Amino acid sequence: MRETVRICLPRVMQIGGDSIKEIGAVLKAVGSVKKPLIVTDKRMVEIGIAGRAQQLLLAAGYSSGIFDEVLPDPTDTVVLEGIDILIAGGYDCVIGIGGGSSIDAAKAIAVMSRYSRNILDYRPPTEFFDSGLPMVAIPTTAGTGSEVTHHTVLIHEASGEKISIRGEAFVPTAAIIDYKLTMSKPKRLIADNAIDTLTHAIEAYVSKKRTLLSDRMALDTMRLVGENLERAYENPKDEEARAALMLAATFGGIAFSNASINLVHAMSRPMGSIFNVPHGMCNAMLLSEVTKFSVDAAKDRYADCARAIGFAEKSDDDEIAISKLLGGLDRYNKVLEVPSVKSFGINIQQYHEVADRMASEALSSGAPNNNPRIPNKEEIIAIYKAVVCE
């Protein structure tokens, strides 16, 4: 654990059901903002969430525009289009509304509109700290934690590589965390997002960059997911469970943003970008196998995870707790109907052909170096192969 730490969080967080109604007050708290640009996707426009935000802004005295071209796994090209809209319209603030893709695109637009527009200039291990435009994050899914992190994930369209650009510049100025905005999401998304949240927490807790703050956030995240994931999956209308998963997503974002992700995310990004696997589902495919690979290097930490999630009893010794953790993660995949690589429909021959490339991209991200057990390329390839038919 690091002796000194630097904690990055949004300046303002409005949390709770219907907190989107406070969007005007949040903007006033942000500072001298006159004309925000809403960055979102067409689905948020179709179901009226983007329009509702505009109406609330107008009632608070703010005119706004909408850029709704964000797609899942946004590219640097989409960000550049958004920057053109922002500059042409004279907007001085960015509001990201939607899942992690919309919020990540909004964060990138807020920063890259003022500095370099070449995503490769922000590629790890580079970290960027100079302030961009004020940015407000309003998540409508409970998973990525992007509303509180200093990470922004984009695909470099020319190469197809998924790049996690990072640094304090990408921490939102403010976040509005309203679980009611997630209530229309289907069971598949509830499961995938919650496993993404759980992965954030486990990786933060075992990370070599962990902190006292990230430990606390990670343990609470695991507890909230363990108590509420299956409840929400079985009954998506359970508001108490959905509110808890939304809070868990934010806690998990705080945890990994201040401790770092590890091997699961490093492997998930190239796999997701090449085969169009949703991010949370990709993490779910990999989490159990990566845990099996890593567990001997941090037995006490993984045992704590098992107890926090509720897989193990407090009285269980570490070996029993670890066994229950591995069993519990495998059970989650069955109960939540997480597909294997093969059952998802990925061409297995192509998958094996690009395994070397995926492993290289995973290693180049730097995240595996934070894992309790640091893998080499051959070991990463072996993990990719292990999840083909599980």
Which residue among 147, 182, 217 closes a domain?
182
Which residue among 133, 150, 182 closes a domain?
182
Task: Judge whether 2 lies within some domain.
Answer: no
Q: Would you state the structure tokens that stand for residue 27, as one six-digit string?
A: 């903007």
User: What residues make up the domain containing 253?
Assistant: 187-386
Task: Judge whether 28 lies within some domain.
Answer: yes
Task: Judge whether 4 lies within some domain.
Answer: no
CB 141 within 8 A of CB 179: no
CB 195 within 8 A of CB 336: yes
Identify the DSSP state of 12: E
Q: In this structure, how many other beta carbons lie within 10 angstroms of the beta carbon of residue 330?
A: 17
* Residue 115 shares a structural domain with residue 264: no
pLDDT of 5 over the 80 cut: no
For the residues of 102-161, what is the DSSP string, one character each?
Answer: HHHHHHHHHHHTTS---GGGG-TT----S--S-EEEEESSSS--GGG-SEEEEEETTTTE
- How far is the C-alpha of 162 from the C-alpha of 56, rounded, in Å? 35
Quick one: average pLDDT of 91-105?
96
Quick one: average pLDDT of 176-180?
97
* Residue 343 shares a structural domain with residue 198: yes
Q: List, in sequence order, the alpha helices (H) in 258-298.
A: 263-275, 279-294
The secondary element (H helix, E strand) that includes residue 175 is: strand 174-177
What confidence tens digit (pLDDT) does each residue in 192-220 have?
Answer: 999 999 999 999 999 999 999 999 999 99
- How far is the C-alpha of 238 from the C-alpha of 240, rounded, in Å? 6
Radius of gyration (C-alpha) of the chain in whole angstroms: 20
* Residue 40 shares a structural domain with residue 113: yes
Q: In this structure, how many other beta carbons lie within 10 angstroms of the beta carbon of residue 368?
A: 25
* Residue 177 shares a structural domain with residue 192: no
In the chain, the percentage of residues whose pLDDT exceeds 90 is 85
Task: Judge whether 6 lies within some domain.
Answer: no
Which residue among 182, 214, 232 closes a domain?
182
Mean pLDDT of the chain: 94
- Residue 374: partners with Cβ closer than 8 Å, 6 or more residues away: 368
| Residue 114 burial class via C-beta count within 10 angstroms: exposed 0-12, middle 13-18, buried 19 and up | middle
Task: Judge whether 233 lies within some domain.
Answer: yes
Q: In this structure, how many other beta carbons lie within 10 angstroms of the beta carbon of residue 162?
A: 21
- Residue 139, preceding peptide bond in cis (omega within 30° of 0): no
What confidence tens digit (pLDDT) does each residue in 337-377 have?
Answer: 999 999 999 999 999 999 999 999 999 888 999 999 999 99
> C-alpha angle with apex 87: 83 to 90, nearest 5 degrees?
135
- How far is the C-alpha of 92 from the C-alpha of 62, rounded, in Å? 11
CB 123 within 8 A of CB 116: no
Residue 354's closest CA among 310, 390, 385?
385
* Residue 138 shares a structural domain with residue 162: yes
pLDDT at 82: 97
- How far is the C-alpha of 330 from the C-alpha of 240, rounded, in Å? 26
Please count the CA atoms within 13 angstroms of the CA of 296 that sit on its side-chain side.
Answer: 3
Q: Based on the structure, what is the number of domains in the chain?
A: 2
| Residue 300 burial class via C-beta count within 10 angstroms: exposed 0-12, middle 13-18, buried 19 and up | exposed
* Residue 204 shares a structural domain with residue 150: no
Bridge pairing between strands 93-98 and 174-177 = unpaired
Q: List, in sequence order, the alpha helices (H) in the chain.
A: 23-30, 42-46, 49-59, 76-89, 100-112, 187-206, 212-234, 239-257, 263-275, 279-294, 299-309, 318-335, 341-344, 348-353, 355-364, 377-386
For the whole prediction, is pTM greater than 0.85? yes
pLDDT at 133: 96
pLDDT of 19 over the 90 cut: yes
* Residue 106 shares a structural domain with residue 29: yes
pLDDT of 390 over the 60 cut: no
Task: Judge whether 5 lies within some domain.
Answer: no
Task: Judge whether 354 lies within some domain.
Answer: yes
- How far is the C-alpha of 384 from the C-alpha of 285, rounded, in Å? 10
pLDDT at 31: 86
Does residue 238 sit in helix, strand or coil? Answer: coil
* Residue 233 shares a structural domain with residue 175: no
Between 144 and 16, the higher pLDDT residue = 16
Residue 287: CATH number of its domain = 1.20.1090.10
Task: Judge whether 85 lies within some domain.
Answer: yes
Q: Would you state the structure tokens that stand for residue 291, as one six-digit string?
A: 């845990």
pLDDT of 2 over the 70 cut: no
